[in-house]
Structure 1
Amino acid sequence: MMFRSAKINSFRTWGLLLTMIGMGLMVLGTAGIVFWGQAGKIVAAVGLIIGLIAMVGSLGIYFWAGMLSTSAVQLQCPECGKLTKMLGQTDRCMFCRTILTMDPAIANITAEALEAQQNQSSSKG
């Protein structure tokens, strides 16, 4: 529970991870030419193609997170007082990770009870 973050931040983290993986594959693929000469060209081609696919995936995730961010509800966190964005029924503050909700039915339950409730509802459907 300590490492949970806001939904928009987790989308951006996955986008950054794909960017780093894509760039790493491109660099390692190109290094194949240095290590294996002519035979390394195949390794370079495969690394560059898979890296390009990862970079395009990253672009898609960043675009999707940006579009979600424009329609997110902005509210002031009751814990830290900073302006944050909320997606869905419940989300976490982007700064202090406090659980936020607009639903009065679940506004006073603990974090553990909320996670248990969400896990039960996701396993049913």
Structure 2
Amino acid sequence: MRFKSSKLNEFRLWGLVLTLLGLGVMILGTAAVLIWGDNGKIVLFIFMVIGMISVLGSMAIYFWAGVLSTSSVVLQCPECGKQTKMLGKTDRCMFCKTILTLDPEQATELPDAKEAGSPERT
């Protein structure tokens, strides 16, 4: 799995990165006016538009993460015992980063199969 945290946290991270990037670009555009005076207004306009697009993109990512969060599976992590949300077949715990799955073919252990005396799957 390529994610180092849960998928929902990854979406939120990219939303935060786009927000900070957009605000930073807008601040740099404002600095252009302070440095070059009236000649920097074109640079200010360009940087403000790029920053605004970035902030709107982050808003779309946050909205998408919220929609995904409402339809995700809530389960209890076997390692830390906290409730976490899971997207897809495999995901990571939001708190302890343990890999979680609901697909028995991708699981590394069968829970309580040996203890209950039931035959193992092959």
Q: What is the total number of aligned residue pairs between the two structures? A: 109
Structure 1 residue aligned with 2:27: 27
Determine what percentage of the aligned residue pairs are the same residue.
Answer: 63
Residue 3 of structure 2 corresponds to residue 8 of structure 1? no
> Is the partner of 1:105 in helix, strand or coil?
coil
Deviation at 1:108, TM superposition (A): 1.0
In structure 2, the gaps of 5 or more residues are: 110-122
Larger fraction in helix? 1
Deviation at 1:45, TM superposition (A): 0.4
Structure 2 residue aligned with 1:53: 53
Letter in 2 for 1:82: K
Deviation per CA, 1:4-35: give whole Å up to 9, x if none: 01000000000000000000011110111000
Letter in 1 for 2:49: I
Q: Partners in 1 of 2:108 and 2:31 — Cα distance?
A: 56
Q: Partners in 2 of 1:66 and 1:30 — Cα distance?
A: 32
Structure 1 residue aligned with 2:17: 17
Structure 2 residue aligned with 1:81: 81
Deviation at 1:99, TM superposition (A): 0.3
> Is the partner of 2:94 in helix, strand or coil?
coil
Structure 2 residue aligned with 1:37: 37
Query: How do residues 63-102 of structure 1 correspond to structure 2 at under 5 angstroms?
Result: 63-102=63-102
Structure 1 residue runs of 4+, over 4 Å off?
none
Letter in 2 for 1:46: I
Alignment TM-score, normalising by the size of structure 1: 0.84
> Is the partner of 1:65 in helix, strand or coil?
helix
Superposed CA RMSD: 1.5
In structure 1, the gaps of 5 or more residues are: 110-125
Letter in 2 for 1:72: S
Task: Point out the structure with max Rg over C-alpha.
Answer: 2
Letter in 2 for 1:51: G
Structure 2 residue aligned with 1:115: none
Deviation at 1:106, TM superposition (A): 1.1
Query: How do residues 107-122 of structure 1 correspond to structure 2 at under 5 angstroms?
Result: 107-108=107-108
